[in-house]
Amino acid sequence: MIGTKQESRIRLPLATEVLQHRVQTFLEQLSRQTTHITRPIIHRVTLPLEPLQPLNWLMHQRQSTCIYWGNRDGQFELAGIGQADVIQGRIREGFTHIFRQIQSHFDAEFPRMRYVGGFQFSPRLNEDPFWADFGAYWFVLPQLEVFRENDQYFLALNLKLHPGEPLPLQIEKLLDFLETVVWNDSDIDFTVPRYRRRLDAPGYEGWNRMIARALQKIRSGSFEKIVLARRSTFEFEEDLHPLEILKRLSQASPETYHFCLQPVSGSAFLGASPERLYRRVGRIIETEAVAGTRPRGTTEAEDRQLAETLLNSSKDLREHDYVVQSIKEVLSSVCERYEVDPEISILKLTRVQHLCKKLRGQLRPDVSDAQIISRLHPTPAVGGYPTLNSEMEIENLEPFQRGWYAAPVGWISQNEAEFAVAIRTGLIEDHRLHLYSGAGIVEGSTAENEWEEIENKISNFLTIVQRMNGKQ
């Protein structure tokens, strides 16, 4: 049981000694029960910690696999290293197959054990080498994790013992891993290299042609809305440190989801997404419709005027309504009952603001996370409307493969799950940073305005890049 008043909080430098003792105790109990393991066994040791900075702790580590997740309201964050278990595949066989693999490892004794990861946007095979390390889906149970729930801090060690491998050898590997952990959460800054050049796919002329083709399709009745994206690639003089980018990104946009998924060294997907796909606690689900964009004003009066313009824009209201109606259709198919906020609100971020409407419901007893994601993804906020027609056309129009951009990323435990939509994201590939962002195209859209909207959306990343080059 974690978080009880009887447990004293442990200082970080003492954690390895306590962990080793707990692991040895568990293994002694296991050896008394059986002489050999006939099936995989997952065990979890959790300790309460004194307050610390999980992201700082993670930046001190040197393992090739690391993950970070911080939710939008700032109430939960998790930093993990190593791989106790990995669920991964090159083809997205179906959400049900993937979630069954994850759910098969859960145990009522460890309700806070979480697999963290995500999926690629499209179910089709992704042949883009940029995304080779991620596959079509990748979920990891970290070997070691530091996590915070509100003002409570914990350290957890996850063990997966395999049949067929001598138990002493597995224990030796685990103890060797613990010896590599740096028990330090002091503030740390990495030198960030300068960037050499920027490449846009498509460039401005290609973007104009792409938007013209999309508007032609809309006028012919193929679909009512389509979200088209750009990839902006920045090449740097040296390799980047993903967690340094994430740290700067989280400081620039504190009111968003922050995540970094690094399967191997030199390859990381990170972002600061404002958009929740869904949050589930037991049978209660929360989701939201986010669409339409305006920049933030430099004064309170200007900011208010921009918000009013957004709330009165027929183009943006129509774009937002497609998302609302699509999510309502989903909730009516998976919920016993649901409710929708009566009024549209403004979701205000550091540099942009969006139209937003929240929805919540009571799930039917037979509905799984696989069914929820398969129905919600992709929403018209990142795909289009109708969904199937626009999703197929995206692959025809965009001159690159989206990979994990605009797909679900998040975590799942035995009784809870939370997924964000992976927008405002970047893929780090050694010395390259690929930024992804899109804009909703409906009747009335113009290529120039949508290009500028994307520039606003990636402005937090752009500010970081400019500061790397000594520009303020």
Dump pLDDT digits (tens) for 210-267: 999 999 999 999 999 999 999 999 999 999 999 999 999 998 888 899 999 999 999 9
Q: Judge if 210 and 350 occupy the same domain.
A: yes
- Rounded Cα distance, 66 and 58, in Å: 8
Radius of gyration of the chain, Cα coordinates, nearest whole angstrom: 23
Residue 3's pLDDT band, with cuts at 50, 70 and 90, is very low
Mean per-residue pLDDT over the chain, rounded: 90
Query: What pLDDT sits at residue 83?
Result: 96
Q: Are residues 322 and 439 in the same domain?
A: yes
**284 HSE (CA, 13 A, CB side):** 2
Residues 20 and 57 in one domain: yes
* Predicted TM-score of the model (pTM): 0.93
309 and 416 in a single domain? The answer is yes
Same domain, 310 and 347: yes
Is 270 within 8 Å of 79 (Cβ atoms)?
A: no
Number of domains in the chain: 2
Check whether residue 46 and residue 83 sit in a common domain.
Answer: yes
Please report the pLDDT score of residue 192 as a whole number.
76
pLDDT of the residue at 189: 81
Decide if 104 is inside a domain: yes
Phi then psi dihedrals of residue 195, to 5 deg: -95, 150
Domain-located, residue 25:
yes
pLDDT at 43 (0 to 100)? 87
Is residue 2 included in any domain, yes or no? Answer: no
Mean pLDDT within 385-405: 90
pLDDT digits (tens, 9 = 90+) for 129-150: 889 999 999 999 999 999 999 9
pLDDT tops 60 at residue 472: no
Q: What is the largest CA-CA distance in the chain?
A: 73
Kindly tell me if the per-residue pLDDT of 303 is higher than 90: yes
* CATH number for the domain harbouring residue 463: 3.60.120.10
- Give pLDDT, residue 34: 60
Residue 107 is assigned to a structural domain of this protein:
yes
Domain end call among 180, 215, 232? 180
In a domain, 81, yes or no: yes
The answer as to whether 294 is a domain residue is: yes
Q: Looking at the structure, do residues 302 and 448 belong to the same domain, yes or no? A: yes
Contact of 369 with 99, CB cutoff 8 Å: yes
Instruction: List Cα–Cα distances, 40 to 81, 160, 162, 257, in angstroms.
Output: 21, 7, 5, 33
In a domain? residue 187: no
Q: Look at residue 428 and tell me if it is in a domain.
A: yes
3-state per-residue secondary structure call for the chain = CCCCCCCCCECHHHHHHHHHHHHHHHHHHHHHHCCCCCCCEEEEEEEEECCCCHHHHHHHCCCCCEEEEECCCCCEEEEEECCCEEEEECCCCCHHHHHHHHHCCCCCCCCCCCEEEEECCCCCCCCCHHHCCCCCEEEEECCEEEEEECCEEEEEEEEEECCCCCHHHHHHHHHHHHHHCCCCCCCCCCCCCCEEEEEEECCHHHHHHHHHHHHHHHHHCCCCEEEEEEEEEEEECCCCCHHHHHHHHHHHCCCCEEEEEEEECCEEEEEEECCEEEEEECCEEEEEEEEEEEECCCCHHHHHHHHHHHHCCHHHHHHHHHHHHHHHHHHHHHEEEEEECCCCEEEECCCEEEEEEEEEEEECCCCCHHHHHHHHCCCCCCCEECHHHHHHHHHHHCCCCCCCCCCEEEEECCCEEEEEECCCEEEEECCEEEEEEEEEECCCCCHHHHHHHHHHHCHHHHHHHHHHCCCC
Q: What share of the chain is helix, strand, coil (3-state, %, to 5)?
A: 35, 35, 35
Structural domain span for residue 385: 200-241+276-468
> Are residues 214 and 165 part of one domain?
no
pLDDT at 33: 66
Same-domain check for residues 69 and 213: no
Same domain, 216 and 166: no
Angle at 181 between CA 186 and CA 145, to 5 degrees: 85
Three-class SS of residue 201?
strand
Positive or negative, the CA dihedral 206, 212, 215, 219 is: negative
Residues 161 and 232 in one domain: no
Q: How far apart are CA 400 and CA 201, in angstroms?
A: 7
Looking at the structure, tell me whether residues 131 and 234 fall in a common domain. Answer: no
pLDDT at 29: 76
